């Protein structure tokens, strides 16, 4: 049998050796269009049935928390347990409330601390507006946040995302199947719950989440500034330690069903004050910090901090902050309605302290606006996904660009940090060409590097292995939320750049895979040329001191540690230096960008 691949490759090498340099460049430059033709250049501007490779819906299981090594506690049990605890609390409170010592205590600490001299009363118009905007943003943050969670429906405390070691899951245990991928693990949420909800719609969910975050933060900063400028801060910041006994007093009063008298217009009770204080001054900053703690670029930059405050720890805390907010909203709304609804609604919606219906009607009208946007959000996202992406790029793009300027050196992680399990992701190559190369142990493999370079090259695995060796132990961040540490061995992209010498016009570097993406057409990704000189940008042929396995991208994959995992093209067959990526594939800078509306900069 004639090995035609070997012969062809030998012939190619031979002609390459004989032709003069200019001709050779020309020849290799012509190689690039052949990659481009294999791309999908359709413009996807809707989320239809076949989107994301037509992944069928998949619903998970009721959320569970791990107790001990292998036991799982179904969180639905919290409902009856909560009711039981409540009944118990009420019986205890009613039992003790008439004891003389408790009576004395309630008399000494009636439930509210005194306010500092000159604290204003009531609810100014700016506060009414900010309160409403806050609600509005919060609902969409929660919905899109749930969609992000559903894309990797497991939570861990360490940076290793080892199946069975998660503390929380709303998905079945990971099957013992080497072809199981993180994408396969993702869940669907009902449309009105998730934003958008469809399985693996994380690209769009993240644009929603990150853009609304920015608006919510701006609103929150304005709110806090105005609180301090106007003196209203004293109503939700404890100024004396008697807030603690007063809070206990309020709790006893609530539980004994002899509720404290409402005086929200002037002074909140201590329990309210603490709840508002935690929500504004603890939960909100924590939401921001834990959000940033999930950024690959920031973690690569602040490596000491991120050893403890790692992505999974941050993601878990971020989720717990969400739980606080959901609990807060439920209890807050319930109490607003249970403790003099009309008066309470007048406070925050009409700015008066009467029992008129004005506040109620304004509340109803603004809630109707919220409901309309709520219902429309998912269908609008499916119909105009590119607009959602543009909104995201406009609001969070500048921040992502800022975070990209991190050039860390290898060395923070050691062999001991290497993860025992490293998830696989993406659609594996199935072309005849790839199969032939794989069967031949990649002896015929040639990495073709061309485009806007002075010296296009075609490199075999041996050529690559003969170049200066570079290795690094780094952490991988998948956009879905899982992470893992591995040791990568190969050549620095810097060495490749020295070899091919990009021309001054080259601004982007496109990596082409042998594998197709989920909806057909080659997987590819364009990267900013500035990042190609970073210490941690490399082409890896080894993983954990072994040649790269099939599922992790044999024979060659990219590592760029300032970015999320989807940008690290596996099974690379070619690299092209270009001036712009608008005419490559769908024109958005990568397969996932064209198809799943991801961004071309993903440092968060
Ligand atoms: N060719 C190709 N490369 C790819 C993907 C893909 O689908 N096709 N998936 C990306 C994603 S989303 C991630 S998280 C990483 C996963 O790398 P791993 O399978 O080695 O963990 O590969 C990236 N490279
Ligand atoms: Mo990923």
pLDDT digits (tens, 9 = 90+) for 450-461: 999 999 999 999
Q: Report pLDDT for 43.
A: 81
Confidence of residue 596 (pLDDT cuts 50, 70, 90): very high
In testing the pocket of ligand 1, which one of 39, 179, 200, 426 has its CB within 8 Å of the most ligand atoms? 426
**383: number of Cβ within 10 Å:** 13
Check pLDDT > 90 for residue 44.
no
Ligand 1 centroid to Cα of residue 182, in Å, is 10
Q: When comparing pLDDT for 59 and 19, which is higher? A: 59
Confidence of residue 587 (pLDDT cuts 50, 70, 90): very high
Confidence of residue 54 (pLDDT cuts 50, 70, 90): confident
- Residue 258, classed as helix, strand or coil, is coil
In testing the pocket of ligand 1, which one of 519, 570, 598 has its CB within 8 Å of the most ligand atoms? 570
Give, using CA atoms, the residue closest to atom 21 of ligand 1: 424
Confidence of residue 29 (pLDDT cuts 50, 70, 90): low
Give, using CA atoms, the residue closest to atom 10 of ligand 1: 566
Ligand 1 centroid to Cα of residue 429, in Å, is 11
For residue 182, the ligand 1 atom closest to its alpha carbon is: 14
Q: Report pLDDT for 86.
A: 97
Q: Provide mean pLDDT across the span 372-384.
A: 97
**For the chain, domain boundaries:** 2-16+415-596
Check pLDDT > 60 for residue 201.
yes
Q: Provide mean pLDDT across the span 269-275.
A: 97
Which CATH number is 2-16+415-596 given? 3.90.420.10
> What is the four-CA torsion angle of 313, 316, 321, 323, rounded to 10 degrees?
-160
Phi, psi torsion values for 242, nearest 5 degrees: -70, 0
List all residues 6 or more positions away from 524 whose beta carbon is below 8 Å from its beta carbon.
35, 39, 510, 511, 512, 513, 569, 584, 585, 590, 591
* Range of weakest confidence among 32-36, 151-155, 517-521, 554-558: 32-36
Check pLDDT > 70 for residue 507.
yes
Sign, CA torsion 528/533/539/544: negative
Confidence of residue 23 (pLDDT cuts 50, 70, 90): low
Q: Report pLDDT for 32.
A: 64
Q: Report pLDDT for 428.
A: 97
Check pLDDT > 80 for residue 343.
yes
Q: Report pLDDT for 53.
A: 81
Cα angle 300, 305, 309 (rounded to 5 degrees) comes to 100
Q: When comparing pLDDT for 224 and 12, which is higher? A: 224
What is the percentage of the chain residues whose pLDDT exceeds 90?
Answer: 90
* Beta-sheet strand order (sheet of 572-578): 457-459, 447-451, 572-578, 508-516, 522-528
Q: Give the closest ligand to the alpha carbon of residue 518.
A: 1
* Range of weakest confidence among 23-37, 125-139, 244-258, 473-487: 23-37
Ligand 1 contacts (CB < 6 A) are: 422-427, 478, 513, 515, 523, 551-553, 565-566, 568-571
Task: Please confirm whether the linkage preceding 408 is cis (ω < 30° from 0).
Answer: no
Check pLDDT > 80 for residue 382.
yes
Check pLDDT > 70 for residue 31.
no
Check pLDDT > 90 for residue 34.
no
Q: What is the DSSP string of 180-212?
A: --TTTT-----TTTSSS-STT-HHHHHHHHHHH
Q: When comparing pLDDT for 315 and 33, which is higher? A: 315
Of 567, 599, 595, 594, nearest in space to 583 by CA: 594
Please write the tens of the pLDDT for every residue from 70-87.
999 999 999 999 999 999
- Residue 559, classed as helix, strand or coil, is strand
Confidence of residue 30 (pLDDT cuts 50, 70, 90): low
What is the percentage of the chain residues whose pLDDT exceeds 70?
Answer: 95
Q: Give the closest ligand to the alpha carbon of residue 476.
A: 1
Q: Provide mean pLDDT across the span 418-428.
A: 97
Q: Report pLDDT for 261.
A: 86
Check pLDDT > 60 for residue 17.
no
First to last CA, the chain: 52
Mean pLDDT of the chain: 94
List all residues 6 or more positions away from 202 whose beta carbon is below 8 Å from its beta carbon.
147, 148, 151, 186, 479, 480, 596
> Cα dist. 443→11, 39, 504, 541 in Å?
15, 26, 34, 14
Ligand 2 centroid to Cα of residue 482, in Å, is 8
Q: Give the closest ligand to the alpha carbon of residue 568.
A: 1
Conformation bin of residue 321: beta by default, left when phi > 0, alpha when psi is -120 to 50: alpha
> What is the four-CA torsion angle of 164, 167, 171, 174, rounded to 10 degrees?
-10
Check pLDDT > 50 for residue 499.
yes
Q: Report pLDDT for 4.
A: 43
In testing the pocket of ligand 1, which one of 568, 571, 572, 595 has its CB within 8 Å of the most ligand atoms? 568
Cα angle 22, 26, 31 (rounded to 5 degrees) comes to 145
Check pLDDT > 70 for residue 27.
no
Helix runs in 168-281, H state only: 202-230, 243-255, 270-277
Q: Report pLDDT for 51.
A: 81
Confidence of residue 402 (pLDDT cuts 50, 70, 90): very high
Check pLDDT > 80 for residue 531.
yes
Q: Report pLDDT for 1.
A: 35
Confidence of residue 365 (pLDDT cuts 50, 70, 90): very high
Give, using CA atoms, the residue closest to atom 1 of ligand 1: 570
Please write the tens of the pLDDT for every residue from 284-325.
999 999 999 999 999 999 988 888 899 999 999 999 999 999
For residue 518, the ligand 1 atom closest to its alpha carbon is: 7
Stated length of the chain:
604
Check pLDDT > 70 for residue 275.
yes
Burial class for 144, CB neighbours closer than 10 Å (0-12, 13-18, 19+): buried
Q: Give the closest ligand to the alpha carbon of residue 181.
A: 1
Please write the tens of the pLDDT for every residue from 146-163.
999 999 999 999 999 999
Q: Give the closest ligand to the alpha carbon of residue 424.
A: 1
In testing the pocket of ligand 1, which one of 424, 556, 565 has its CB within 8 Å of the most ligand atoms? 565
Q: Report pLDDT for 25.
A: 52
Phi, psi torsion values for 509, nearest 5 degrees: -120, 120
């Amino acid at each position: 049998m004639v090995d035609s691949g070997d012969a062809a490759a030998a012939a190619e090498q031979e002609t390459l050796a004989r032709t003069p340099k200019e001709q050779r460049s020309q020849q290799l430059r012509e190689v690039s269009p052949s990659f481009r033709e294999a791309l999908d250049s359709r413009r996807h501007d809707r989320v239809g049935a076949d989107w994301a490779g037509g992944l069928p819906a998949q619903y998970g299981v009721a959320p569970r928390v791990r107790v001990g090594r292998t036991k799982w506690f179904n969180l639905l049990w919290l409902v009856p347990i909560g009711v039981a605890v409540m009944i118990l609390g009420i019986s205890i409170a009613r039992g003790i409330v008439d004891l003389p010592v408790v009576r004395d205590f309630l008399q000494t600490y009636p439930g509210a601390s005194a306010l500092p001299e000159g604290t204003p009363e009531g609810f100014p118009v700016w506060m009414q507006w900010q309160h409403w905007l806050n609600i509005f943003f919060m609902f969409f943050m929660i919905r899109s946040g749930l969609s992000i969670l559903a894309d990797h429906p497991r939570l861990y405390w360490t940076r290793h995302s080892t199946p069975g070691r998660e503390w929380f899951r709303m998905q079945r245990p990971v099957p013992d199947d080497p072809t199981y991928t993180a994408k396969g693990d993702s869940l669907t949420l009902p449309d009105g719950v998730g934003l958008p909800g469809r399985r693996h719609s994380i690209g769009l969910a993240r644009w929603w989440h990150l853009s609304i975050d920015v608006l919510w933060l701006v609103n929150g900063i304005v709110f806090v500034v105005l609180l301090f400028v106007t003196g209203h801060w004293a109503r939700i910041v404890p100024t004396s330690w008697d807030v603690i006994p007063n809070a206990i007093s309020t709790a006893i009063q609530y539980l004994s069903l002899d509720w404290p008298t409402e005086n929200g217009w002037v002074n909140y009770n201590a329990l309210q004050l603490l709840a508002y204080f935690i929500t504004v001054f603890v939960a909100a900053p924590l939401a921001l910090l834990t959000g940033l703690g999930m950024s690959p670029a920031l973690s690569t930059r602040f490596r000491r901090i991120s050893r403890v405050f790692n992505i999974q720890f941050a993601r878990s805390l971020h989720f717990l902050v969400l739980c606080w907010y959901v609990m807060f909203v439920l209890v807050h709304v319930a109490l607003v309605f249970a403790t003099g609804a009309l008066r309470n609604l007048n406070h925050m919606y009409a700015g008066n302290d009467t029992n008129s219906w004005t506040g109620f009607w304004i509340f109803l009208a603004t809630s109707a606006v919220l409901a309309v946007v709520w219902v429309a959000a998912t269908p609008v996202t499916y119909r105009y996904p590119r607009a959602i992406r543009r909104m995201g790029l406009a609001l969070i793009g500048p921040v992502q660009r800022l975070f990209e300027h991190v050039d860390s050196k290898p060395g923070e992680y050691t062999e001991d940090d290497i993860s025992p399990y490293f998830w696989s992701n993406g659609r594996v190559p199935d072309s005849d060409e790839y199969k032939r190369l794989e069967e031949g142990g990649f002896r015929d493999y040639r990495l073709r590097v061309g485009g806007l370079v002075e010296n296009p090259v075609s490199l075999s695995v041996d050529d690559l292995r003969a170049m200066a060796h570079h290795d690094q132990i780094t952490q991988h961040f998948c956009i879905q939320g899982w992470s893992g540490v591995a040791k990568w061995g190969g050549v620095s992209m810097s060495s490749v750049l020295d070899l091919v010498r990009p021309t001054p016009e080259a601004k982007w570097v496109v990596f082409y895979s042998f594998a197709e993406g989920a909806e057909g057409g080659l997987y590819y990704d364009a990267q900013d040329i500035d990042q190609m000189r970073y210490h941690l940008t490399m082409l890896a042929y080894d993983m954990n001191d072994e040649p790269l396995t099939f599922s992790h991208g044999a024979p060659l994959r990219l590592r760029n540690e300032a970015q999320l995992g989807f940008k690290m093209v596996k099974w690379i067959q070619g690299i092209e230096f270009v001036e712009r990526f608008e005419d490559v594939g769908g024109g958005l800078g990568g397969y996932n960008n064209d198809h799943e509306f991801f961004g071309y900069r993903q440092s968060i």
